[in-house]
Amino acid sequence: MYRQTMNRNAGFTLIELSIVLVIIGLIVGGVLVGQDLIKAAEVRATVGQVEKYNSSMNTFRTKYNGMPGDLLSTSAANFGMTVRTGAAGHGDGNSLVEGCSAGAIVFGCETALIWVDLSFANLIDGSFTTATDALTQVAAGSQTSYFPSGKVGRGNYFTVYSSGGLNHYEVTGVTSTSGAGVYTLTTALTPTESFNMDNKIDDGAPGTGVVTAALSVAALNVDANYGAGDACVESATAYNTDTTADANTPACQLRFRFN
């Protein structure tokens, strides 16, 4: 009796291929879920920054009897803070965080000193000691010395200004400011991120409430165009999240009214 040996071509069975495909699918799904979790964590962290800054503002006012940045020049001098002249927008104590003249929405004087004062009082993370009581020029790459970075990333920073008798934060991409304090901005939040932040703090609508959408790379405090064709919003009640491409394209800036 002879034993016949047959050579077989090595290969995967259908069951083995199915197992491999299932594993690949699980890995891809895990990566996508992980990315979503990271984005959600960044949004929560940025919302946490807003809440922390509100708390820091209130703590500062209680401790020093004035708004950071806007603190009276005499009080700032008594506490050893950065010197300011006391003129309009220079530590005038009117409870509005303004540029170098009353109502000016530029970076410098009170809108820059707000972070210096909060840093001096150890009420925020980071060390902001560069700005002075003057119009401030920020060169590309040095923004983190002047503005707190938004935890959402992508070059977003917290800016501050007053308008209509109210103080606001604006989370926006900042690439630089000129020697006249004029911002160069970018839209660096996606509609999804903007909706999620708005929804966690306010009503989820871009045109109403204490959180609203802004849209201008030329200036702060410019409302989004709530009509058709705006890449950030569809209307005053809805962010542009209809498609994945729209929802995840950086096209927004977001305003938060001080509490």
Is 114 or 1 the better-scoring residue by pLDDT?
Answer: 114
Calculate mean pLDDT across residues 227-232: 85
pLDDT per residue as tens digits for the range 68-88: 999 999 999 999 999 999 999
Residue 1 confidence class, pLDDT cut points 50, 70, 90: very low
Residue 23 confidence class, pLDDT cut points 50, 70, 90: confident
> pTM score, two decimals?
0.86
Query: For 30-44, 128-142, 150-164, 222-236, which range has the lowest pLDDT when averaged over its residues?
Result: 30-44
Q: Does residue 3 carry a pLDDT above 80?
A: no
Calculate mean pLDDT across residues 28-46: 79
Calculate mean pLDDT across residues 137-162: 96
Across the strands, what pairs with 57? none
